[in-house]
């Protein structure tokens, strides 16, 4: 595994590429305090197809968090896997003419191969069809049946198969006809069957109390509003079994019922580390509660409401943080088979390499928002940030040293002022990055590292070391040393984002990164203020520039046309949302700040609108209106606007709305 001590780390820690839960080493875990460990999870993926860019994104975030904690010396357990039961999978298997288990089996290797290819080092890949998981879910159900938190009754209502969710009465306003799913907008089906209910209603106050006491539970904080509002509006007991679906975990002592797929799936986070398994009690206590659970905004309700309530019912501690990320759109529209824009991570890997794609996703996407993927942006970032700014710097420094027959660079007896300035910036960069990474602001962390890289580049140019090599050898060596020290810190700090490439960079400096539990490499770097000796080694170009492809020539008539095509119109996402809050912006006589609810899929958005002169909060709150939601966010009076309210021009703008109420998040076509 290259120069890294991964092998060593794997042996020491029992971590690495593995599909099963390895016996956890007892030597250190006996004394392992909860501050020294990090348990991070991804959602488990529905296996109806190969993983796509969205699945890669959730998993990549968890991998970066895992690696970030590893360089801080923590023991890490990283869980991912697949969600294999339920109606959606059963129907997909039927369509393919296969048995559900055979159907899901065919995709597992795609998942594992993709994660391995992208350097995603998980500790366990759980499948909900794993025997230990099935038994532990049954234990969980039995425990809740015994406690009276699960009871049998009858359910009549609506169900969304793609989301595997029961649509609440409040959401299904037109009860006689199938309502659209408030989350995905697709048609629901009518369900009427005997069912076991979980007493969710009993947890309403406990949940609200918990959110209040733990304001950092949901990251970013803004996403907590929709959760709290939903809970406040009243929780109904949740149906957690199906009799009309056979593909699932049978209920204990009542095999006509199978566990509702979310009750089965959410429990993977505890069953994977030993819950409900007699010989694994110690391991379970060592890892639970999870430190960070990564999930997309579409599944926040399941994770922030049902999951904590399930855990409360089982008397288990709640996860410390839920990191809720936005969605990746491709070429500014939702990824979907029907648009033909589903991106296969393996295609990108072959064209650009794993670490370049990792970098791009982390840099491009602000975790709090939806982001856009485009190959053009990706190629630009590879060429400028990676090949030009970082790769070239390393290459120029090493080549120049080699040209003058220098392979060992020692630190100077004393640094000149310009190098001292660089050292100061290096440590202030480390502090900033530390803060950003701890807050999961990966795009900010990367931007800060690139500020520092540009500083080293300017220093290197300004010093003109190629001239110093002939006129002032000591100063020449100092410039090489300062550049190597800067690159060394960069190699460490960027390792969670680009593990392979940073290992190569460090090899070129004669360094390896020894990631071991108990050793905080960041603290170590803080202590050793640029006093290293580097043994240089030439390596292949770190990042290759991507040559821009010639733009295909458009037919002449298309170029002249003043019409826009339907595909242009479709780029503008006009969506219905309810204005939930409205505040005046001090010092602005034009702007109002709106908090708009776009339903579960899109969530809450802050939108500024220049209508203060004509409208006040009481005119707007509770009203539905039409918004453009995929305009690039922009700041006005220092406040970000994440969309645009549509209204007529003229003297008094009339706000565009719908003739009667529709679910929030519905798109105009
Ligand atoms: N099986 C459930 C999760 C159960 S967890 C106990 C599920 N699976 S999923 O395959 O549909 O989605 C898994 C994750 O992928 C979610 O976090 C979802 O947000 C994420 N993504 C799917 N498409 C996405 C994008 N286009 N962009 C970013 N992430 C998105 O839900």
Terminal alpha carbon distance of the chain:
51
Rounded to a whole number, what is the largest CA-CA distance in the chain? 89
Burial (Cβ within 10 Å: 0-12, 13-18, ≥19) of residue 352: buried
pTM of the model: 0.79
Higher pLDDT, 601 or 78: 78
Is residue 269 within a helix (H) or strand (E), and if so which, with residue range? helix 268-271
Ligand 1 centre to CA of 83 (Å) is 11
Least confident of 114-118, 190-194, 306-310, 609-613: 190-194
Instruction: Determine the distance separating the centroid of ligand 1 and the alpha carbon of 427, expressed in angstroms.
Output: 37
Residue nearest to atom 21 of ligand 1 (CA): 54
* Phi–psi pair at 637, nearest 5 degrees: 50, 35
Q: For strand 37-41 and strand 321-325, is the pairing parallel, antiparallel, or unpaired?
A: unpaired
Q: Which atom of ligand 1 is nearest to the CA of 298?
A: 19
Q: Per residue in 642-656, pLDDT tens?
A: 999 999 876 778 899
Q: What is the pLDDT of residues 521-543, one digit of tens each?
A: 999 988 888 999 999 999 999 99
User: What are the DSSP calls for 590-634, one per residue?
Assistant: S-EEEEEE-HHHH-EEEEEES-TTT--HHHHTT-EEEEE--SPPE
With a cut of 70, say whether residue 302 has pLDDT above it.
yes
pLDDT band at 285 (very low <50, low <70, confident <90, very high): very high
Protein residue with its CA nearest to atom 23 in ligand 1: 54
Ligand 1 centre to CA of 665 (Å) is: 18
The secondary structure of 3-36, three-state, reads CCCHHHHHHHHCCCCCCCCCCCCHHHHCCCCHHH
How far apart CA 270 and CA 258 sit, in angstroms, is 19
Which is more confidently placed, 662 or 437?
437
219: confidence class by pLDDT, cuts 50, 70, 90 = very high
Give residue 562's pLDDT: 61
CA 16/CA 465 separation, integer angstroms: 42
pLDDT tens, position by position, 485-526: 999 999 999 999 999 999 999 999 999 999 999 999 999 988
Q: Atom 24 of ligand 1 has which residue's CA nearest to it?
A: 54
The set of residues, in sequence order, having a beta carbon less than 8 Å from that of 203 and lying 6+ positions away, is 235, 308, 309, 312, 313
d(CA 256, CA 141): 15
Q: Are 430 and 493 in contact (CB under 8 A)?
A: yes
Q: In what order do the strands lie in the sheet with 328-330?
A: 333-334, 328-330, 371-373
Q: Three-state SS for 360?
A: helix
Name the residue at shortest CA distance from atom 22 of ligand 1.
54
Q: 433 alpha carbon to ligand 1 midpoint, in Å?
A: 28
Distance CA 642, CA 656 (A): 18
How many Å lie between the centroid of ligand 1 and the Cα of residue 44? 8
Q: Whose CA is nearest to atom 25 of ligand 1?
A: 54
Res. 176 pLDDT band, cuts 50 70 90: low
Q: Are 626 and 648 in contact (CB under 8 A)?
A: no
Read off the pLDDT band of 416 (50, 70, 90).
Answer: very high
What is the residue with the minimal CA distance to atom 16 of ligand 1? 296
Pocket test for ligand 1, best of 42, 58, 162, 310 (most atoms within 8 A of CB): 58
CA angle 312, 74, 361 (to 5 degrees): 85
Q: Is 214 helix (H, G, I), strand (E, B) or coil?
A: coil
**24 pLDDT higher than 70:** no
Give the separation between CA 322 and CA 296, rounded to whole angstroms. 10
Whether residue 6 contacts residue 502, with contact meaning beta carbons closer than 8 Å, is answered with no
What pLDDT digit, counting tens, does each position of 450-480 carry?
999 999 999 999 999 999 999 999 999 999 9
Residue 561's pLDDT is what? 47
Give whole-number Cα distances, 663 to 174, 247, 575, 668, in Å: 11, 31, 10, 12
Classified as helix, coil or strand, 144 is helix
613 token code pair: 């002169």
C-alpha 533 – ligand 1 centre gap (Å) = 46
Q: Write the burial class of residue 305 (CB in 10 Å: 0-12 exposed, 13-18 middle, 19+ buried).
A: buried
> What does the DSSP 8-state code read for residue 667?
B
The burial class, CB within 10 Å (0-12 / 13-18 / 19+), for 30 is exposed
Pocket of ligand 1 (CB under 6 A): 43-46, 54-55, 57-58, 83, 265-266, 295-296, 298-299, 327-328, 335
Ligand 1 midpoint to CA 49 (Å): 13
Grade residue 342 by pLDDT with cuts at 50, 70 and 90: very high
Q: Whose CA is nearest to atom 15 of ligand 1?
A: 55
Residue nearest atom 5 of ligand 1, based on CA coordinates: 43
CA 560 / ligand 1 centre spacing (Å): 42
């Amino acid at each position: 595994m290259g120069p890294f001590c991964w092998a060593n780390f794997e042996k020491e820690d029992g971590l690495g590429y593995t599909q099963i839960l390895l016996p956890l080493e007892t030597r250190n875990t006996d004394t392992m305090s909860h501050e020294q460990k990090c348990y991070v999870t991804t959602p488990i993926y529905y296996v109806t197809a190969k993983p796509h860019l969205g699945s890669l994104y959730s998993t990549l975030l968890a991998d970066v968090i895992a690696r970030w904690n590893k360089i801080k010396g923590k023991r890490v357990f990283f869980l991912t896997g697949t969600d294999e039961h339920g109606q959606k999978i059963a129907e997909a298997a039927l369509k393919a003419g296969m048995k559900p288990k055979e159907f899901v089996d065919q995709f597992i290797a795609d998942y594992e191969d993709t994660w391995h290819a992208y350097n995603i080092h998980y500790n366990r890949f759980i499948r909900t069809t794993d025997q230990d998981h099935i038994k532990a879910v049954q234990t969980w159900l039995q425990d809740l049946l015994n406690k009276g938190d699960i009871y049998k009754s009858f359910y009549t209502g609506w169900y969304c198969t793609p989301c595997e969710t029961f649509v609440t009465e409040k959401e299904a306003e037109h009860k006689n006809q199938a309502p659209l799913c408030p989350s995905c907008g697709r048609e629901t089906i009518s369900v009427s069957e005997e069912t076991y209910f979980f007493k969710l209603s009993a947890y309403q106050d406990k949940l609200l109390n918990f959110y209040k006491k733990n304001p950092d539970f949901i990251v970013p904080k803004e996403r907590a509003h929709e959760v709290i509002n939903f809970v406040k509006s009243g929780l109904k007991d949740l149906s957690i079994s199906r009799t009309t679906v056979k593909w699932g975990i049978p209920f204990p002592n009542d095999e006509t019922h199978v566990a509702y797929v979310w009750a089965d799936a959410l429990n993977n986070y505890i069953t994977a580390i030993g819950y409900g398994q007699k010989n694994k009690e110690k391991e379970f206590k060592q890892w639970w509660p999870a430190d960070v659970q990564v999930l997309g905004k579409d599944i926040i309700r399941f994770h922030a409401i049902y999951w904590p309530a399930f855990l409360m019912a089982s008397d288990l501690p709640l996860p410390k943080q839920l990191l809720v990320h936005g969605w990746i759109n491709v070429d500014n529209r939702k990824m979907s088979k029907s648009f033909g824009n589903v991106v296969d991570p393996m295609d990108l890997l072959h064209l650009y390499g794993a670490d370049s794609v990792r970098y791009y996703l982390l840099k491009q996407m602000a975790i709090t928002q939806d982001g856009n993927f485009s190959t053009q942006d990706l190629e630009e970032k590879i060429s400028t940030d990676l090949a030009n700014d970082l790769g070239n710097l390393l290459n120029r420094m090493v080549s120049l040293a080699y040209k003058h027959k220098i392979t060992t660079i020692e630190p100077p007896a004393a640094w000149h002022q310009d190098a001292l300035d660089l050292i100061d910036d290096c440590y202030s960069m480390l502090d900033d990055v530390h803060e950003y990474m701890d807050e999961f602001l990966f795009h900010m962390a990367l931007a800060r590292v690139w500020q520092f890289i540009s500083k080293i580049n300017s220093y290197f140019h300004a010093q003109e070391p190629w001239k110093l090599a002939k006129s002032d050898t000591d100063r020449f060596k100092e410039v090489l040393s300062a550049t190597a020290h800067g690159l060394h810190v960069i190699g460490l700090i960027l390792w969670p984002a680009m593990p392979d490439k940073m290992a190569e960079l460090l090899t070129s400096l004669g360094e390896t990164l020894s990631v071991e539990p108990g050793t905080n490499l960041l603290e170590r770097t803080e202590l050793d203020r640029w006093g290293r000796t580097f043994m240089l080694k030439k390596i292949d170009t770190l990042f290759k520039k991507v040559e821009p492809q010639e733009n295909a020539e458009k037919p002449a008539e298309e170029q002249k046309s003043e019409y826009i095509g339907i595909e242009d119109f479709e780029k503008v996402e006009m969506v219905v949302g309810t204005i939930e809050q409205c505040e005046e912006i001090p010092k602005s006589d034009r702007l109002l700040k709106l908090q708009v609810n776009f339903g579960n899929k899109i969530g809450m958005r802050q939108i500024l609108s220049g209508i203060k002169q004509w409208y006040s909060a009481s005119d707007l709150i509770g009203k539905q209106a039409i918004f453009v939601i995929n305009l690039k966010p922009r700041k006005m009076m220092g406040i970000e606007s994440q969309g645009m309210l549509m209204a007529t021009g003229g003297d008094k703008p009339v706000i565009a709305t719908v003739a009667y109420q529709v679910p929030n998040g519905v798109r105009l076509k």
